[in-house]
Amino acid sequence: MTLQRTNRLRALAIGAIAVSGALVLTACGSDDNGNGGSAAEQSKAASNIKCDGKGQLLASGSSAQKNAMDQWVKTYAAACKDVQINYKPTGSGAGIQEFLQGKTGFAGSDSALKPEEVTQSKKVCKGGQGIDLPMVGGPIAIGYNVNGVDDLTLDAKTLAEIFDAKITKWNDPAIKKLNPDAKLPSTKIQAFHRSDESGTTDNFTKYLKAAAPNSYKYEPGKAWEAKGGQSADGSSGVSSQVKQTDGAISYFELSYATASDIKAVKLATGASAPVEATVPNASKAISEAKVVGKGKDLALDLAYDTKADGAYPITLVTYEIACDKGNKAETLAATKSFLTYISSTDGQKALASQGYAPIPDEISAKVRATVASLS
């Protein structure tokens, strides 16, 4: 699949942020989870926020963007005392369902709305429909814990067979071939996947399907379909299992690997050298994406099968999902105010210090214009 290069993400420096548990965030009580910029930078960002609305704004969804939400909520709360943001990192599937049930002001999802979800959203968005607003980009790391193995390269075919329980030992010939100098043990592979419906699962399985179609026979989606393996809830759940289990492997947003000191797989993509999971490398792959959403929808099509040097293909873009028309009157002002801030230059700048890739200026400008038009 060859994609037009219409939207470019600029490579940005990667940083780390500690991952707290999958807790509810509130604007008036979020903890400081890491380096979101200096106090002066945060104060300046807060001073630029245009506050509007009052009361509590409920949202839920993607756990991959939880660390970004931590920082955004904290900065927004410093400026807007009359609004409390409550974001629950329940997973993309649960977040979309709550939004479609009218329980939240917006949802976070690591994959765009499906056509049937757009249709369903028209029942909640009176006179309008749900739209996808790209807000966060970054790599999905393949984290592993194999005693004595500090450097590991895998390809899409091998990953597909590992997560489909066809490769079950770490010293399998297919893994040895990719890692001739590694001392691979006969340890049983413990592959963990998400138990909840997840946009991270959707993006990971889209990569497997695009890059290894003959080995991955399942349809990509938020729900895990391959056979075998074990499951855990949320990015925090699968990363914790990898951290504590010898022989484990799983997929989760890069900041979870960084914060927990989990080693990440390099990918053999057909490029001149294996590619590491870093924000700049993911940005290079995401730069091959194109906008495929119609009207105000800004959904992107990602280049999961890229073979470009230095392009890390297992990526995600997290969308905030809101109604273009028919948003709840009592939370519309706060929703627009908060989404305007997180899509702003200051809001996007805060992502780089946390291991995320900010959305490029030309796309963020479209996001801000769309947010301004929400009604």
Least confident of 16-20, 64-68, 188-192, 247-251: 16-20
Q: Both 195 and 262 in a single domain?
A: yes
Q: Check whether 2 has a pLDDT greater than 80.
A: no
Least confident span in 84-93, 242-251, 351-360? 351-360
Q: Looking at the domain assignment, is residue 73 inside a domain?
A: yes
| Domain-embedded: residue 19 | no
Q: Are residues 247 and 270 in the same domain?
A: yes
> What is residue 24's predicted lDDT score, i.e. its pLDDT?
31
In this structure, are 231 and 180 located in the same domain? Answer: yes
* Total-model pTM: 0.76
- pLDDT digits over 159-185, tens only? 999 999 999 999 999 999 999 999 999
- pLDDT, tens digit, for every residue of 200-240? 999 999 999 999 999 999 999 999 999 889 999 999 999 99
Residue 204: count of CB within 10 angstroms of its CB: 27
Q: Are residues 346 and 361 in the same domain?
A: yes
Residue 191 belongs to a domain with what CATH number? Answer: 3.40.190.10
Residues 111 and 30 in one domain: yes
Number of domains in the chain: 2
**Which residues, in sequence order, are CB contacts of 321 under 8 Å at separation 6+?**
61, 95, 96, 99, 106, 107, 108, 109, 113, 130, 131, 132, 133
Q: Is residue 17 part of a domain?
A: no
Do 257 and 164 share a domain, yes or no?
Answer: yes
Q: Encode pLDDT of 43-78 as tens digits.
A: 667 788 999 999 999 999 999 899 899 999 999 999
At residue 321, does pLDDT exceed 70? yes
Q: Are strands 153-155 and 266-268 parallel, antiparallel or unpaired?
A: parallel
- Does 234 lie in the same domain as 125? no
Domain presence at residue 9: no
State which residues form the domain around 129: 25-139+288-306+316-372
Q: Is residue 157 located within the same domain as residue 228?
A: yes
Are 284 and 267 contacting, i.e. CB atoms less than 8 angstroms apart?
A: no
Pair (347, 238) in one structural domain: no
